[in-house]
Structure formats: structure tokens, C-alpha cells
Amino acid sequence: MANEINNFQEIISHCKEYGYIFQSSELYDGLSAVYDYGQMGAQLKKNLRDEWWKSMTQMHDNIVGIDAAIFMHPTVWKASGHVDNFSDPMIDNKDSNKRYRVDHLIEAHVATLDKESGEALIAEMDKLLAADDLAGLKSLIESNKIKCGISKTCNWTDIRQFNLMFSTQIGSVAEEADTIYLRPETAQGIFVNFLNVQKTGRMKIPFGIAQTGKAFRNEIVARQFIFRMREFEQMEMQFFVRPGTQMEWYNYWKDTRKKWHESIGIPTEKLRFHDHVKLAHYADAALDIEFEFPFGWKELEGIHSRTDFDLSQHAKYSKKKIQYFDNDLNAEGKAYGNYTPFVVETSVGLDRLFLTVISLAYQEEKWTKEDGTEDSRVVLKIPAKIAPTKLAILPLLKKDGLPEIATELLNECKPHFHCFYEEKDAIGKRYRRMDAIGTPFCVTIDHQTKEDNTVTIRYRDTMTQERIPISEVKNIVAKGCM
RNA sequence: GCGGAAGUAGCUCAUUUGGUAGAGCGAUAGCCUUCCAAGCUAUAGGUGGCCGGUUCGAGCCCGGUCUUCCGCUCCA
């Protein structure tokens, strides 16, 4: 395990050194738990997003994609339950480090009092809670000498509002502005557009709506590099089904999503399902697809059977009817008719997927050369189809007309996939640099190229090379990246 | 958020008890030409994380702060 932690440190360093991930605002000492993707990382992330998007929208006739805004009407988050469930004032005891919800702490104390003084205290608390008077609540706790159940002391921290949602104001004049939230999940953008998409796309159940985009959570503790960030990107698909069929689809997506992860090179033994024992208020079944990260098994994707909770809640809060008329015939030969569809959700963290791919790809290799000396390299074995750069074009020397031939090949290839051109330094050094950023193919132009139009292609994973006609390069690389 | 540790060039690290910073690698330019990082020459780079204090003088001592790591805690 210690070894794996060290390895994780090296992965983080490597990501910075080769332009995959930088800490946000590093120039100003950084911003905690926020990261930027660099020139290589942005491309890898885009490739992962594109693969997912294609697998959902292009490969399924009954799934369409949308791109909802980050800002949404404030009532959306009341309907979804986010406002009520995640805005509790919390207080910590400094001696036991135990954290309490303020209302729970006071209510527990009230239980020890007689009826009259208990009710008075509750009334006082409710007044302060309604006024968001955190300092007042703290002095209420202190004046009543409410103690921590573990340390038995009154050594409390200040009370903090513990809301996972970021808020801001819409409109340029603060006083007139309404508070709105940065979405803590992308799913609600799909639910509120259910009718729009279903009607304009003439979608028939079962069908899905897919979306990728940023979400924001004000995590108290955010750690483990890009695993838990305050700003992150989700790739979600909500699949709308006939009530009663949700478990069938839940199992379908469970298998389908695991296979997809395997299709981008994640070994099956590094993936596992973890069924939720305690279900969230909206779910009747839920599981995580976990990946064995360098710091242990952690959630990569969530698959939830969300019942009709979300659509029903939005129907209730918006006072609009959100239903689907199903013309299909049931066993008795009658149409299924009007109902609120059930939802099976697949939700994968793009940043987590990125971390998965990078931690699998990162390898340090050592071997003994023919002359007996030791050699080593650091290589990112990113599967070719998602690698940020597909092909490096390297003239062996930067003279004798070799760069000219190389440039011609570059111009032929770059409309089709991402290429990198380099003529500086010894060829071995250039190969190692390409290994470090994960380029799967290198092609070297040498003097023989001028004679017979062949080049050397060198494969990243095996370090083997072979001679191929220069006219074949484009097709071989394109095929290798499918 | 609590406790512990750390922060010197892009990276890895030096700088004996306080006397105003060095190396290797890397990078850039040129030379060389050689299919797996290690040939030659030159150049660039640090207000020692930041702010303040003690001192004649602080990278070094003290306080605060930011960031990172480890352990708790939290994670709809």
C-alpha cells in the first residue's frame, strides 16, 4: 500500500510535468480542490467525453443528448430535495472533534429538560434558525451549557452553515437579485426538460436523455487529487421506463456500463459492483461501479433506479402535469395509458474516469540492455483510441531533406488525427518524450525513406518497430486508434 | 473542520550553530548525427509559498496565512 501511495504521488507529479493537470490558480498558491486540465489533459478528457457521448447517443437509437445550463430556477433544488437536505448549521466540539447538527444537539439537550423550559428553548432555537443567526445559536448553546456527549465539554467551534451547494445572485443589482445555485448535479437539467425532449423528439418509452457538464459541490474536505473536486464534470444519462420494468433496465445498464468501461481498456478485475445498502430517499435500487484506484476501491460510476421521484417532485412544485401516454398494449390488449415514467440513471464522473485511465496507464519500466547496462522509461500506456496525441512524426536528422518529407506526411495525417512533429534531439530521447505523454505511434523518416518511401513505425507499448511504406502510415494509425 | 509533517530554479535536492543562494537533470538556441533519454558550446530561471515580528543582519528563530501530503471527520 505504501508503494501504491508513492506511485500515486508520482502519477500526480507526472500529470503536472507533462501538461495533463495543473492546480487551479497555482500562480497564487492554488485554490484547494480545484484543478485545471493542461494541453494534454484537456485532449484526453475530451476524448473520454466523446467516447461516452458516442456510446450513448450514436450507438443507441433511443437516447438523445442535451446541454442544459448550469444555472437553474431556485425551485428546482427545492423540488429535488437539495435545499432542505443540505443546508444544516453544524458545530464541532474542539475536544472530541465530533461534529453535530445544531438542531440535533439542542433537541437532545431539550430531552433532558422539563417540558416548559424545553419548549422555551426550542422556540428560541427556531427563531434563531429562521433568522440564520449563527452567532446567536452558539451563545444559546453556551448559555445553556450544552455539552458534547463524548468529551463532556462546552469547547465549541463557531457554527458554520454546512451547505454543499454554491450560491450566487442573478441580476446585476444585489438587493433585487434572487439567490440561485450552481447545480450540484446535472440530472435535474434532464428532468425539467423531460417533456420538451419527449415531445419535440417524439420519443417513445423506453428512451434516454444524456448530458455531460460541470457540477459544483462545496465539499468540506476534498482530497485525493482530482477524485473529489469542488468543480467537476459529470456524464449522466437518465433512462425513462415504464413503471414496473425498472429493475430489468437497471440490470441492463449495470452490465452495459461495466462493458463500456472495459471497452476503453479498464481491466475487468479492476472493476466491481457495490450495492448500496442504505438507499437515498429517491431510489429503490442503487449501486456503484467501483474502480481500484491507487488509494483503494472507490466509486467511479453510480447506477440508480430513481423511481418516479424526480418527475413527480417537479410536477408537484411546478404544478404542471409531467406524464407520458403509452400506446403500447399490455397483456389484456389495452394501452398502458398515462403514467409518470420511472427513471434509471447512469452517472459517471468524467474526472474520476480520467484518473482511472491515467493511473492504469502510468508505468515505470526497467530492463537490461544488450550491453548489460540498465535502462528505464516512464510510459503512459493510454489506449490508442483515447490517447491525446496519436502519432509523432520524427525526421531522424533535421537536414538532407528529411524534415520536408516529414512535413508532407504531417500535412497528410493531421486532418484525420492529432499529430506531433519533433526534430530536436536524439531519436531515443524523442521516443521517451512521446512515451511520457502517451503517444501510441511514432514514425521516423530516415535516409532510406528517400530511396524506397518506407519509414520506421515504432509502437509505444512494446517498443518494437517495423518498416512500412510511408503511404500506409495514415491508414495504419487510424486503424490502430479505432 | 481537527491533529501531525512539509514548502529553496520546471524536477530532485544542497546551502555545518542566523552573515543577502548552488548542483545535477530538464528547458531554449546552435553544433554534431546516432533508431530507444546520458557528445560539445552558449543562454535563460529563484524578492527562499505569502504577510508580519525578533535582530545590525533571517532561507534558517517566532507568529499568522495559503497550499500540499498523512491520520481522523464528512461525503444527498
Which of A163, A189, A208 represents a domain boundary (last residue)?
A163
Instruction: Please compute the mean of the pLDDT values over residues A406-423 and round it to a whole number.
Output: 94
Query: What are the tens digits of pLDDT across the range A106-128?
Result: 777 777 777 787 778 777 777 77
Q: Which residue is nearest to nucleotide B65 (CA to C1')?
A: A29
pLDDT in tens, A273-312: 988 877 777 788 999 999 988 888 888 999 999 999 999 9
In a domain, A71, yes or no: yes
Q: Using 50, 70 and 90 to split pLDDT, how confident is the model at A1?
A: very low
* pLDDT more than 70, % of chain A: 90
In A29-138, the DSSP E strands lie at 35-37, 63-65, 87-92, 99-101
- In the structure, what pLDDT confidence band is assigned to residue A3 with cuts at 50, 70 and 90? very low
CATH of the domain at A157: 3.30.40.230
Whether A85 and A162 have beta carbons less than 8 Å apart is answered as no
Q: Does residue A226 or residue A322 have the better pLDDT?
A: A322
Cis status, amide bond into A206, omega within 30 of 0: yes
CA A420, C1' B27: Å apart?
18
For residue A174, what pLDDT is reported? 59
Three-state DSSP at A158 gives coil
Position A82 in a domain: no
Residue A65 CA to residue A314 CA, distance in Å, equals 21
Q: For cell 434532464, what's the residue?
A: A190
- Tell me: do A105 and A64 sit in the same domain: no
Residues A67 and A98 occupy one common structural domain: no
* Residues A189-213, mean pLDDT to the nearest whole number: 96
A309 in any annotated domain: yes
Can you give the CATH number for the domain in which A14 is found? 3.30.930.10
- Chain B: bases < 7 Å from a protein Cβ: 1-2, 7, 10-12, 27-29, 32-39, 49-50, 66-70, 72-76
Q: How far is the CA of A364 from the C1' of B25 (A)?
A: 18
Please give the Cα distance from A380 to A119 (Å, whole number): 64
Q: Are residues A335 and A430 in the same domain?
A: no
Q: Is the pLDDT of residue A203 over 50?
A: yes
Task: Please give the pLDDT value at position A87.
Answer: 58
Whether residue A174 lies inside any domain: the answer is no
For the stretch A46-93, pLDDT in tens is 999 999 999 999 999 999 999 999 999 989 998 988 877 665 677 766
**How many other CB atoms are found less than 10 A from the CB of residue A465?**
15
A113-147 CB burial, b ≥16 within 10 A, e <16: eeeeebeebeebbeebbeeeebebbbebbeebebb
| Measured torsion, CA atoms of residues A351, A356, A357, A362, in degrees rounded to the nearest 10 | 120
Nucleotide nearest to A95 (CA to C1'): B2
Bigger pLDDT: A141 or A474? Answer: A474
pLDDT of residue A131: 67
Q: Which three cell numbers stand for residue A12?
A: 500526480
- Give me the pLDDT at residue A458, please: 95
Q: How far is the CA of A31 from the C1' of B5 (A)?
A: 20
Q: So what's the pLDDT on residue A2?
A: 38
Q: In this structure, what CATH number is given to the domain that contains residue A414?
A: 3.40.50.800
pLDDT for residue A263? 95
Is the domain of A210 the same as that of A244? yes
Task: Say whether pLDDT at A132 is over 70.
Answer: no
Q: Which of A358, A374, A405 is the last residue of a domain?
A: A358
Q: What is the rounded distance in angstroms from the CA atom of residue A473 to the CA atom of residue A111?
A: 78
State mean pLDDT over A191-212: 96
Whether the pLDDT of residue A381 is over 70: the answer is yes
Residues A230 and A132 in one domain: no
* Distance from residue A433's CA to nucleotide B46's C1', rounded to whole Å: 27
If asked whether residues A146 and A192 sit together in one domain, one would say no
- Write down the pLDDT at residue A144: 78
Three-state DSSP state, A182: strand
Residue A137 has pLDDT above 80, yes or no: no
Structural domain total, chain A:
3
Q: Compare A385 and A103 and report the one with higher pLDDT.
A: A385
- Nucleotide nearest A423, CA–C1', reads B33
* Any domain includes A384: no
Residue with more model confidence, A415 or A136: A415
Question: Residues A306-322: what's their mean pLDDT?
Answer: 94
Q: List the A431 CA – B70 C1' distance (angstroms).
A: 36
Q: Are A213 and A68 in contact (CB under 8 A)?
A: yes
Residue A435 in any domain: the answer is yes
**Residue-number span of the structural domain to which A338 is assigned:** 2-75+181-358
What mean pLDDT value characterizes chain A?
87
Query: Average pLDDT in the A441-470 region?
Result: 94
